[in-house]
Amino acid sequence: MDKKKIYPWYFGAGALVLYSALFVLPSLIGIGYSFTNWSSYSDQISFVGLENFARVFSPDRNYLDYLWNTLWFTVATTVLKTVLALAFAVLLSTGVKGLNVHRAILYMPAILSVLIVGMVFSSILDPANGLLNTTLRAVGLDALAQKWLTDAHLAMWSVIGVDVWRGMGYVMVILLVGILSISPTYYEAAQLDGASSWQQFVRITLPLLRPTLAVAIVLNVLYGLKVFDIVYVLTNGGPGHRTEVLYTAVFSEFSNGRFAVGTALSTVMLVVMVILGVFMIRVLTRNEVQE
């Protein structure tokens, strides 16, 4: 059989061309532009060497804080979502009536536009009339009512909280599907041998759930590093850049016409992601490799 004839090259060409032209090409020429002074203020573009990177990594500027915020957001949301989702998935995998109804409800936030989730929560977290503060006041917990999105110390936690609300159910449903597909015979055998619930969790559930967990973590890390919508809508990076992440910073550089700084930031991100990416792609494709 002549594979070249049965599976002609042009079957892959469309996807490759479109992806290369509109996804990879911008990243590559972006690397070039990050060594220039490209901006909306002048038609001239000239080479400035490492100036933009010096600016991005300068301790006098805030860019390193944005990088730190992005990493913090990523770690916090990934850990919270995964731990909560795992705990609830294990807890609810047995003995809950109408599990499918719960599953459908818990998954719902994940299909809504992140933008819309952000809009709804900017109402809920409104300090004066928001649902959260009015409820707290109504039950006499006035002291807990906060300026959730404008307090410098709280804003990042509020954004993280909203994102955990949005993404936790999704992770939980994936894990629940994984748990329910584990054969009950393992647990029966373990119980006969007198294993405690904790031992069953550590020795049976966790190892068998590992591929699912790995994929969920990778997808959450990717989402966290590239986060934009939810931050943009809730705080737009404020108060005082306290919640500024890489992609919101790129957007504000873009809006202010400082294109070269925007591409330099994207290039920094590209380098980070290529290094992490090799590892993450391996996790995602591991099952394929085994086949």
Partner 1 sequence: MSRTGRPPQARGVGVVKNVIAWALSAVMLIPLLLIVFTAFKSDDDAQSMSFTLPKQWDPSTFLTVIQQGKLADGFLNSMLYSTAGTLLTVLLAAMAAYMFSRRRTRLNNVLYMFLVMGIVLPINYVALMKVMQIFGLNNTRLGIVLLYSAIQLPFMVFLMYGFVARIPQELDEAAVIDGCGPIRLFFSIILPLMTPALVTATVLCFLNMWNEFVLPLYFLNSTDKWPMTLAVYNFFGKYETQWNLVAADVLLTSLPVVVMYLVCQKYIVGGQTAGAVKG
Binding to partner 1, residues 149-168 (CB under 8 A):
165
Using CB under 8 A as the binding rule, whether residue 8 contacts partner 1 is answered as yes
The window from 56-64, 72-80, 99-107, 144-152 that contacts partner 1 (CB under 8 A) reads 99-107
Helix axes 63-92, 246-255, angle to 10 degrees: 140
Mark residues 197-216: x for contact with partner 1 by CB under 8 A, - for none. Answer: --------------xx--xx
Using CB under 8 A as the binding rule, whether residue 115 contacts partner 1 is answered as yes
* Residues of this chain, 20-39, that bind partner 1 according to CB under 8 A: 21-27, 29-30, 33
Q: Can you say whether residue 151 is alpha, beta or left, with left for phi > 0 and alpha for psi between -120 and 50 degrees?
A: beta
Using CB under 8 A as the binding rule, whether residue 96 contacts partner 1 is answered as yes
Rg (CA), the chain: 24
230-262 burial, b if ≥16 CB within 10 A, otherwise e? bbbbbbebbbebbbbbbbbbbbbbbeeebbbbb
Using CB under 8 A as the binding rule, whether residue 196 contacts partner 1 is answered as no
Residue found under tokens 């400082």: 258
**Of the residues 112, 152, 189, 202, which one makes contact with partner 1 according to CB under 8 A:** 112
The window from 55-63, 96-104, 153-161, 237-245 that contacts partner 1 (CB under 8 A) reads 96-104
- Residue 21, CA atoms < 13 Å, CB-side half-sphere: 6
**Of the residues 35, 73, 121, 148, which one makes contact with partner 1 according to CB under 8 A:** 121
Number of residues that bind partner 1 (CB under 8 A): 107
CA–CA distance, 261 with 48 (Å, rounded to integer): 12
**149 and 125 Cβ atoms separated by less than 8 Å:** yes
Residue 227, Cβ density class (10 Å: 0-12 exposed, 13-18 middle, ≥19 buried): buried
Phi then psi for residue 126, to 5 deg, are -60, 130
CA–CA distance, 160 with 73 (Å, rounded to integer): 6
The window from 46-54, 102-110, 141-149, 236-244 that contacts partner 1 (CB under 8 A) reads 102-110
CB of 66 to partner 1, least distance (A): 14
- Residue 217, CA atoms < 13 Å, CB-side half-sphere: 16
CB of 274 to partner 1, least distance (A): 7
* Residues of this chain, 232-261, that bind partner 1 according to CB under 8 A: 233, 247, 250-251, 253-254, 259
Which tokens belong to 228? 């934009």
**Of the residues 50, 54, 116, 144, which one makes contact with partner 1 according to CB under 8 A:** 116
Using CB under 8 A as the binding rule, whether residue 183 contacts partner 1 is answered as no
Mark residues 45-84: x for contact with partner 1 by CB under 8 A, - for none. Answer: ----------------------------------------
Nearer to partner 1, 57 or 187 (CB): 187
**176 and 89 Cβ atoms separated by less than 8 Å:** yes
Nearer to partner 1, 193 or 291 (CB): 291
**Of the residues 42, 58, 113, 256, which one makes contact with partner 1 according to CB under 8 A:** 113
